[in-house]
């Protein structure tokens, strides 16, 4: 007589799946797009997104220290529940046919590792989320107190290699001139990554730039642009985005309230009793919100 599904066998099988999930989760690579996001932990059902805007420059210390208050543009970010669930057939446990689930567990782990990546990609592609200054990420009228209107939604000159290289230089100059809420130049912003849609032309051009190639008469920009990201949610394939991904508050802030965690149910407590199908689920809680718009520029070519 073959083996049957006892509570001990059930518990042992679920434990194997959980251990395998965590092993695969640890080994899974980080999603490349998360480089444009500051990743922070959350401790409640919502978090107050504050302390954004430009950080003041160092200045000569004469007399009492000048304290620069944080801008009072704070907003709440609600944590969102996420899940992914597969079904395991009871007969497969009894028949010791569990190898077929190994790839499913691996898939769950990889998708769980990057569960916020599609949210970040859609946020920058759709450009509808509102940030701390009341504007969408890419806008031509970002303004804070004495900064004056600032534009990170730029008109491109075209999509040839020479035109793209010229526009990269324009983005660099634009980001170098950002001002804070006191009207002072904030040094240090510069693009190091670009994002495009699934466009063979722009992918080819930026690959050339990163590898040190250039059009005739254009400078070598490989020292500036280091990374190319492809965003499947970008639908205008002539536009591209530039990001400063160095440490600090980036263009997007990704919050994690609960890291992806396997969840199983007690034996004979649900569909396994009724249908012989056992759910194996992964749950997480998190959210994404806009961060510092100065870390990003969009170049629009036509349309």
pLDDT of residue 288: 95
Looking at the chain, how many residues does it have? 303
At 183, phi and psi to the nearest 5?
Answer: 80, 15
Sign of CA dihedral 259, 265, 270, 272: positive
List CB contacts of 246: < 8 A, sequence separation 6 or more.
Answer: 192
Q: Is 23 helix (H, G, I), strand (E, B) or coil?
A: helix
Nearest to 291 by CA among 35, 32, 49, 45: 49
* CA–CA separation, 165 and 171 (whole Å): 10
DSSP assignment of 172-214: HHHHHT-B-TTS-B-TT----EEEE-S-HHHHHHHHHHHTT--
* CA–CA separation, 183 and 188 (whole Å): 16
pLDDT of residue 79: 93
User: Taking every pair of C-alpha atoms in the chain, what is the biggest distance, in angstroms?
Assistant: 88
pLDDT of residue 43: 85
Is residue 209 within 8 A of residue 169, CB to CB? The reply is no
Q: What domains can you pick out in the chain, each with its CATH number?
A: 7-52+76-300 (3.90.1690)
Quickly count: other Cβ atoms within 10 Å of residue 232's Cβ. 11
* Opening angle at CA 152, ends 194 and 114, nearest 5: 40
Name the β-bridge partners of 85: 281
- The helix (run of H) or strand (run of E) holding residue 165 is helix 161-176
- The helix (run of H) or strand (run of E) holding residue 121 is helix 117-126
Q: Given strand 37-41, what is the order of strands in its sheet?
A: 37-41, 252-263, 277-290, 80-89
pLDDT of residue 270: 58
Burial 180-202 (b: 16+ CB within 10 A, else e): bbeeeebeebebebbbbbebeeb
Tens of pLDDT along the chain (303 residues) come to 567 888 899 999 999 999 999 999 999 999 999 999 999 888 888 776 665 555 665 565 655 655 555 555 566 889 999 999 999 998 888 888 888 888 899 999 999 999 999 999 999 999 999 998 899 999 999 998 888 999 999 999 999 999 999 999 999 999 999 998 888 898 889 999 999 999 899 999 999 999 999 888 888 888 899 999 999 999 999 999 999 999 989 999 999 999 999 998 877 665 555 567 889 999 999 999 999 999 999 999 975
* CA–CA separation, 45 and 254 (whole Å): 14
Residue 56's alpha-carbon distances to 24, 59, 91, 248, in angstroms, are 42, 9, 64, 13
pTM of structure: 0.87
pLDDT of residue 153: 98
pLDDT of residue 271: 52
Is residue 289 within 8 A of residue 74, CB to CB? The reply is no
């Amino acid at each position: 007589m073959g083996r049957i599904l006892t509570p001990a066998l059930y518990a042992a099988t679920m434990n194997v799946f959980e251990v395998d999930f965590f092993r695969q989760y640890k080994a899974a690579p980080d999603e490349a797009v998360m480089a444009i996001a500051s990743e922070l932990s959350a401790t409640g059902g919502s978090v107050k997104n504050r302390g954004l805007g430009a950080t003041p420059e160092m200045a000569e210390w004469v007399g009492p220290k000048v304290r620069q208050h944080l801008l009072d543009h704070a907003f709440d970010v609600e944590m969102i529940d996420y899940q992914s669930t597969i079904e395991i057939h009871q007969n497969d446990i009894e028949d010791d046919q569990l190898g077929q689930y190994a790839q499913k567990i691996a898939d769950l782990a990889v998708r769980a590792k990057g569960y916020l990546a599609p949210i970040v990609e859609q946020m920058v592609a759709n450009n509808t989320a509102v940030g701390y200054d009341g504007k969408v990420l890419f806008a031509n009228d970002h303004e804070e107190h004495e900064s004056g209107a600032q534009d990170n939604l730029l008109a491109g000159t075209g999509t040839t290699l020479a035109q793209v290289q010229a526009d990269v230089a324009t983005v660099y100059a634009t980001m170098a001139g950002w001002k804070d809420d006191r009207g002072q130049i904030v040094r240090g912003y510069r693009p190091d990554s670009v994002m495009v849609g699934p466009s063979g032309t722009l992918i080819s051009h930026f690959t050339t730039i990163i590898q040190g190639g250039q059009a005739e008469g254009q400078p070598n920009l490989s020292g500036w642009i280091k990374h190319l990201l492809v965003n499947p949610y970008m639908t205008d394939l002539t536009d591209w985005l530039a990001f400063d991904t160095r440490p600090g508050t980036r263009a997007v802030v990704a919050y994690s309230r609960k890291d992806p965690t396997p969840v199983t149910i007690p034996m004979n407590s649900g569909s396994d009793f009724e249908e012989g199908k056992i759910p194996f689920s992964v749950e997480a809680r998190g959210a994404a919100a806009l961060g510092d718009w100065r870390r990003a520029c969009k170049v629009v070519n036509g349309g």
